[in-house]
Amino acid sequence: MKKPELLIPASSLEVLKTAVIFGADAVYIGGEAFGLRAKAKNFTKEEMAQGIAFAHERGVRVHVTANILAHNADISGADQYFRELKEMKPDALIIADPGMFMLAKEICPEIDIHISTQANNTNYMTYRFWYEQGAKRVVSARELSLHEIKEIRRQIPEDMEIESFIHGAMCISYSGRCLLSSYFTGRDANHGACTHPCRWKYAVVEEKRPGEYLPVYENERGTYIFNSKDLCMIEHIPEMIDAGIDSFKIEGRMKTALYVAAVARTYRRAIDDCLESEEKYRDNMNWYREEIAKCTYRQFTTGFYFGRTDETSQIYDNNTYVNEYIYLGIVHLVDGQGRAHLIQKNKFCVEDEIEIMKPDGSNVFVKVLHMHDEEGEAIESCPHAGQAIDVMLSQIPEKYDILRVRNQ
């Protein structure tokens, strides 16, 4: 059985390191332009070079997004961007626009090109087309079923790769080509500036009855403009492998290190268990479910993978994220006295009972014994976001461990 790649998103250098340490085979990142997550922190040129080096030292591949639908004004900047990437040597570029594809192929032919889901890749002839143009991989449209993906696998060259989403948010439009953001706010989703209007609450106002807000109701086919439940295929990894998918992609290039660590660690173990034996995978299913539910999410669905969806599989009954854990920080180093240095993400206090989340899958419950600020002064809590602190815990953590606490 071929081992699929686990492809994890990273919004920053810190999150990239977390993804690598917590089990990614590959990470995908964006620079400061030409990707579809303009609101993510993204990587400067220097950070991207550091991230690629960090990943490559640990045998992890790096894919860089350049998947905007480009306008004329973008082309000269894209030319320069690809020349810079040529020097940094990422493993692949993720591209949707044919013009950007031609440019990348001309400037850095040695870097693999992957065709983004934004290109609406819904049939095997599309895959063959991109293969003949020189693409190494195509990311399947979210609208495809596993049956359709399996047929694509059968109809395309053996050395062509299929990448499919396995977890994360599902855009309801057509493979993410959303027009609402640009219409409502002037921020173009196809240029990376999406404001996620599909997640806002809406009501209808009839022009002759101003001030009377009528709720929006979905029929059995949904509304087609509102976001879906989040995709989760943790219970269906054997079916994903059987369909011939080469890369399992986690959505979430704007997520925190806590989210990335949780999904990477859980899917890493689930994939490895499944490859060892399906029986072991089934035996550990409760652990996968429990751990994946500790991520921030908005109810789960299997999307389109098992055929036509209905309102129960797509439409959530409220648009509030489930957030079981609060992210406290990443251990950047541990000094000779066993104190953990971190940049605080959320407030916690001396005497609090918190959890150390480790890459090997274990969760260690500890007590906060004492903490000090940057000047070495003892403090009882760390209320200021981004505060640098040293913390002594009842058990010494390791570098890259993540600290979290259950949301009360």
pLDDT digits over 363-391, tens only? 999 999 999 999 999 999 999 989 999 99
Q: Are residues 336 and 402 in the same domain?
A: yes
Last residue of a domain, one of 269, 289, 314: 314
What pLDDT does residue 220 have?
Answer: 43
Let me know if residue 87 belongs to a domain: yes
What's the rounded Cα separation, in Å, for the pair 120 and 175? 6
User: Over the stretch 21-56, which tens digit does the pLDDT of each residue have?
Assistant: 999 999 999 987 775 555 445 789 999 999 999 999
Are residues 250 and 164 both part of a single domain? yes
Note whether 292 and 330 are same-domain residues.
Answer: no
Residue 382 sits in a domain of what CATH number? 2.40.30.10
Strands 26-30 and 61-65: parallel
| 98 within 8 A of 118, measured Cβ to Cβ | no
* Run of H or E residues at 390: strand 388-393
On whether the CB atoms of residues 332 and 399 are closer than 8 A, the answer is: yes
* Residues 45 and 164 occupy one common structural domain: yes
Residues 13 and 116 in one domain: yes
The last residue of a domain, from among 314, 343, 369: 314
The CATH number given to whatever domain includes residue 255 is 3.20.20.70
Residues spanned by the domain of 360: 325-406
> Tell me, what DSSP letter sits at residue 271?
H
Beta bridge partners of 64: 29, 93
Could you give the C-alpha distances from 396 to 265, 331, 358, in angstroms and in order? 21, 11, 12
Whether the pLDDT of residue 88 is over 60: the answer is yes
**Side chain identity, residue 20:** V
Q: Are 240 and 2 in contact (CB under 8 A)?
A: no
Closest CA to 23 of 355, 330, 360: 360
State whether 239 and 378 are in the same domain: no
Identify whether residues 162 and 240 lie together within a single domain: yes
218 inside domain: no
Distance CA 13, CA 373 (A): 24
pLDDT band at 209 (very low <50, low <70, confident <90, very high): confident
Type of residue at 143: E
* Residue 190 is assigned to a structural domain of this protein: no
- Which residues have C-beta within 8 Å of that of residue 378, sequence separation ≥ 6? 370, 371, 372
Give the span between the Cα atoms of 271 and 273, in whole angstroms. 5
Give strand pairing partners of 205. Answer: 213
Q: How far is CA 288 from the centre of its chain?
A: 18
| 245 and 140 belong to one structural domain | yes
The 3-class secondary structure across 191-246, one letter per residue, is: HCCCCCHHHCCCEEECCCCCCCEEECCCECCECCCCCCCEEECCCCHHHHHHCCCC
Q: What is the pTM of this model?
A: 0.85
255 and 390 both lie in a single domain? no
Using CA atoms, how far apart are residues 214 and 354, in angstroms rounded to an integer? 45
Whether the CA torsion 271, 276, 279, 283 is positive or negative: it is negative
Calpha distance 223→67 (Å, rounded)? 27
Domain count, the chain: 2
Q: Is residue 37 part of a domain?
A: yes
Q: Are both 309 and 347 inside the same structural domain?
A: no
User: Exposed, middle or buried by CB within 10 Å (0-12, 13-18, 19+), for 373?
Assistant: middle
Q: Are residues 18 and 90 in the same domain?
A: yes
User: Which of 256, 263, 261 minimizes the C-alpha distance to 345?
Assistant: 256
Whether residues 296 and 335 fall in one domain: no
Last residue of some domain: 314, 335, 353?
314
Handedness of CA 16, 287, 356, 37 (dihedral sign): positive
In this structure, is residue 193 part of a structural domain? no
Lowest average pLDDT, out of 1-5, 67-71, 93-97, 220-224, goes to: 220-224
Total residue length of the chain: 408
Structure tokens, 383: 């209320």
Q: Is residue 154 part of a domain?
A: yes
Six-digit token string for 200: 């806002």
Q: Is the pLDDT of residue 217 over 90?
A: no
For position 293, what pLDDT does the model report?
87
Q: What is the pLDDT of residues 252-309, one digit of tens each?
A: 878 889 999 999 999 999 999 999 999 999 999 999 999 998 876 667 889 889 986 6
